[in-house]
Structure 1
Amino acid sequence: MDLQGELVTHPYAAYQRLRDAAPVQRIAGPGGEPAWLVTRYDDVRSALADPRLSLNKANAVEGAYRGLSLPPALDANLLNMDPPDHTRLRKLVGRAFTPRRVEELRTPIRRTADDLLDALGTHGRTDLIAAYAAPLPITVICDLLGVPDGHRTDFRGWTNELIAPDPSRPQAAKQAIGAMLAFFTELIAHKRRHPADDLLSDLITVRDTDGDRLGEDELTSLAFLILGAGYENTVQLIGNAVHALLTHPELLARLRLDPSKLPDAVEELARYEGPALLSIRRFPTEDVTISGVTIPAGETVLLSLSAANRDPARFPHPEQLDVDRDTSGHLALGYGIHYCLGAPLARAETEIALAALLERFSSLALTETEPQWRTSLRARGLVALPVEYKSAVPAVPAVPAVRAARAARPLA
């Protein structure tokens, strides 16, 4: 099996082999262009905080893997920026994702989770990704950003085309990019006409009153990044966490008896089966040496978060799911100045999603033994999570049925 194929189908075994034999290795990146893959925890953590490793594509040499090819109105985002531009934009949106702000969102998040579970009834079978893990974070991030009900659409279908493109449909990714650009252009125009108390309205006000702080392409790109990254990582985190618990029934039973362990469980589940296999690509602004390997300036560096999180030098017996281990320092959500902006929100949503699910259903089990993972070098997530479930008590709707019906609308 070729290395790239092995990294997609059996990532943890492949990363273990690379860590042991060649912790810095030249490979073909997700787009087929050459790249350097880094797999050891200490190397990855140091590289994530190294200012010589730039996210700006302008620092890439010709022929290097540069990541997704996006139009300027979607590309001017935090994932392609270094300080001071990165600092300027992150400061504009950071207050929306502070621990205090996230704490205020816990009640509406739980309400949305209960709405979705109410829609499932007391027993049956369902795809838990489409019915729960996807619509929960989509609803939360749309409410935070201020996306009106009538503008909510199949975001996950679009991002699927970018994260795990189908080789048999080469035009699908380009069509998805065009659809996203049209969507965000229309959304911003709508919010300009109908401002409200939400994050996107606030950003539009900044743009329209002080263009030096936020350009038009930056505004569109921020909306794209917040909405896309704000739900996609959480969909995968919730789905992966539920799958891991269902394949570790002893841990599932323990969490039912002691929900106070859920915050620790979320951290360990993120380490064990996090949503990102790789961090965003980087380009050295000068020659850099990692584990004795010199990487020339401008070539692409890929840092494997999932390989680092299963490095036995940092996490003993990393293949074991252990909620009592010290997970401090795990890299599932990054590290350094590019640490995931929405990490507090993703943690809260995952914890609440698991708590609501375990409280509601006394019986929850997989209906298929072989999960179908996305065929992606970038992201680790399930295409679907078929389960059967049974509730111990009848569900009691927590909010009006119209909201529950909206929240439960299928998205994939």
Structure 2
Amino acid sequence: MDAAGGCPHAANAALLERGSVVPVVLPGRIEGRAVVGHEALREFLAHSEVAKGPEHFTALREGRIPAGWPLMTFATVPGMTTADGDDHRRLRGLVSRAFTPRRVEELRPRIVELTDRLLEDLARSAEESGGDADLRRHVALPLPMGVIGELLGVGAEYRDRLHRLSGQVVATDIDPAEAITANRELVALLGEIAAAKAEHPGDDLTSALIAARDEGGDRLDGQELIGTMLLMVIAGHETTLNLITNAVRALCAHRDQLARVREGEAGWDDVVEETLRWDAPVSYFPFRYPVRDLTLDGTVLPRGLPVLAGYSAAGRDPAVYGPDADRFDVTRPSRASAARHLSLGHGTHYCLGAPLARLEATVALERLFTRFPDLDLAVPDSELPRLPSFVGNSVGALPVRI
């Protein structure tokens, strides 16, 4: 795996030619597998003999994973993404009430209000610079960070630091010393936020989690509190940030598809779904571990080997999406024959925040292109800086001309 990240699609096509399950080498020369075929990934994500808990990671258990390994947080952070069975159900249940369809829909007016304010910031920045502005910085980042910050009760003064540190945590090219420092700083910052909320609780998710922790018993321990907050911050803004960024890039590069939306042939929700398939915001997500040797689509997955979920590859699998799988087509999601993408997961670990991510992205795109109908990229897409990660899939800046 290329720790420096970059556009994954050419490499994904080469992997898909080799099969739906392929051997990969992770940073530190750690052996792993990647599931890249759509049907194989669908089966793998819901398999009853595949686990998320770090106790199943053979190399970690045997002490072969060094401190500062860039993927350590993904493997070991206490919380839903590393829990199985009853523990996973307990942790998911504590958070799920904040993400029901009804609660998410209640956020729509606030998301519209925040989006409109951010578009004013974008226009102001463009005017001050002579016509160009960074849409990622002014809209795609602060929108989901603002929404998840309000849900968690995290003040605006913390949000820039949270984004910077979470970006380092998901980077795969970070050196060990920087990785250790970033993780310590992020845990300390979340601890500071939790302590402040314990002192002055409010009507927010963090206060509710602290109350669950303080109930005692098997509700939530201190490490799980910080781990759950960390997951909410990273998953609650990084994925949607990439989704909005990738959707704008796709529409600017495919003006005919943008025209289809404006002419009513497709909706903004179709744009979101096709972007999730065509340019998934998460490319390869760590980790799952077979609890015994498994055979998946004719390939053996050894017990305890770390396996990546190849969302960006599965989204363009020609075996499922046909010979035009590489084509961005906003009418594809509405066709009955279109397979459901897996970019937000599948099975018991399906993304809890999926309804919120979809709402934020749909509102942002509709209001952005309504306010700025001639918006376009200020530089060619090929010149945009890629994220330094094979986990997150997007660009680090999005200069646009409005």
Question: TM-score w.r.t. structure 2 length?
Answer: 0.90
Name the SS of the counterpart of 1:28 in structure 2.
Answer: strand
- The aligned amino acid for 2:343 is A
User: 1:301-340, aligned counterparts within 5 Å?
Assistant: 301-316=307-322, 317-326=324-333, 327-340=338-351
Residue 67 of structure 1 contacts residue 281 of structure 1 at CA under 8 Å; is this kept in 2?
no
Change (3 A) 1:26 1:328: closer
Deviation at 1:95, TM superposition (A): 1.1
Residue 125 of structure 1 contacts residue 387 of structure 1 at CA under 8 Å; is this kept in 2?
yes
Residue 23 of structure 2 contacts residue 32 of structure 2 at CA under 8 Å; is this kept in 1?
yes
Residue 134 of structure 2 contacts residue 398 of structure 2 at CA under 8 Å; is this kept in 1?
yes
Residue identity (%): 38
Residue 37 of structure 1 contacts residue 304 of structure 1 at CA under 8 Å; is this kept in 2?
yes
- The aligned amino acid for 1:374 is L
**Regions of 4+ moved over 4 Å:** 63-67
Distance 2:217 2:191 in 1: 17
Distance 1:378 1:8 in 2: 8
Which residue number in structure 2 is paired with residue 23 of structure 1? Answer: 20
Deviation at 1:261, TM superposition (A): 0.7
Q: Is residue 203 from structure 1 mapped to residue 216 from structure 2 by the alignment?
A: no
Which residue number in structure 1 is paired with residue 59 of structure 2? Answer: 62
- The aligned amino acid for 2:71 is L
Residue 259 of structure 1 contacts residue 355 of structure 1 at CA under 8 Å; is this kept in 2?
no
- The aligned amino acid for 1:382 is V
Which residue number in structure 2 is paired with residue 48 of structure 1? Answer: 45
Deviation at 1:153, TM superposition (A): 3.1
Deviation at 1:89, TM superposition (A): 0.5
Residue 3 of structure 2 contacts residue 388 of structure 2 at CA under 8 Å; is this kept in 1?
no
Distance 2:157 2:388 in 1: 32
Which residue number in structure 1 is paired with residue 193 of structure 2? Answer: 187
Which residue number in structure 2 is paired with residue 271 of structure 1? Answer: 277
Count how many residue pairs are aligned between Structure 1 and Structure 2. Answer: 384
- The aligned amino acid for 1:194 is H
- The aligned amino acid for 2:161 is D
Deviation at 1:21, TM superposition (A): 2.1
Q: Is residue 354 from structure 1 mapped to residue 357 from structure 2 by the alignment?
A: no
Residue 287 of structure 1 contacts residue 296 of structure 1 at CA under 8 Å; is this kept in 2?
yes
Deviation at 1:292, TM superposition (A): 1.2
Deviation per CA, 1:103-153: give whole Å up to 9, x if none: 100110010000111123375211111111001100000001111233333
Q: 2:233 aligns with which of 206, 211, 227?
A: 227
Q: 1:376 aligns with which of 389, 392, 395?
A: 389
Which residue number in structure 2 is paired with residue 409 of structure 1? Answer: none
Deviation at 1:192, TM superposition (A): 0.7
Which residue number in structure 1 is paired with residue 376 of structure 2? Answer: 365
Deviation at 1:328, TM superposition (A): 4.6
Change (3 A) 1:7 1:259: farther
Name the SS of the counterpart of 1:363 in structure 2.
Answer: coil
Change (3 A) 1:152 1:162: closer
User: 1:118-157, aligned counterparts within 5 Å?
Assistant: 118-121=120-123, 123=127, 124-157=131-164
Name the SS of the counterpart of 2:400 in structure 1.
Answer: strand
Distance 2:369 2:85 in 1: 43
Name the SS of the counterpart of 1:50 in structure 2.
Answer: coil
Deviation at 1:171, TM superposition (A): 2.4
Residue 277 of structure 1 contacts residue 380 of structure 1 at CA under 8 Å; is this kept in 2?
yes
Distance 2:396 2:344 in 1: 21
Question: TM-score w.r.t. structure 1 length?
Answer: 0.88
Residue 283 of structure 1 contacts residue 301 of structure 1 at CA under 8 Å; is this kept in 2?
yes
Q: 1:246 aligns with which of 243, 252, 255?
A: 252
Residue 36 of structure 1 contacts residue 302 of structure 1 at CA under 8 Å; is this kept in 2?
yes
Name the SS of the counterpart of 1:383 in structure 2.
Answer: coil
Name the SS of the counterpart of 1:62 in structure 2.
Answer: helix
Unmatched runs of 5 consecutive residues or more in structure 2: none
Which residue number in structure 2 is paired with residue 164 of structure 1? Answer: 171
Residue 70 of structure 2 contacts residue 179 of structure 2 at CA under 8 Å; is this kept in 1?
no
- The aligned amino acid for 1:264 is D
Distance 1:172 1:126 in 2: 30
Change (3 A) 1:191 1:5: closer
Deviation at 1:254, TM superposition (A): 2.8
Distance 1:47 1:381 in 2: 25
Name the SS of the counterpart of 2:182 in structure 1.
Answer: helix
Which residue number in structure 2 is paired with residue 293 of structure 1? Answer: 299
Distance 2:207 2:3 in 1: 44
Change (3 A) 1:374 1:42: same
Deviation per CA, 1:71-93: give whole Å up to 9, x if none: 99x81111111111001100111
Name the SS of the counterpart of 2:374 in structure 1.
Answer: strand
Deviation per CA, 1:183-202: give whole Å up to 9, x if none: 11111110011111111111
Residue 274 of structure 1 contacts residue 306 of structure 1 at CA under 8 Å; is this kept in 2?
yes
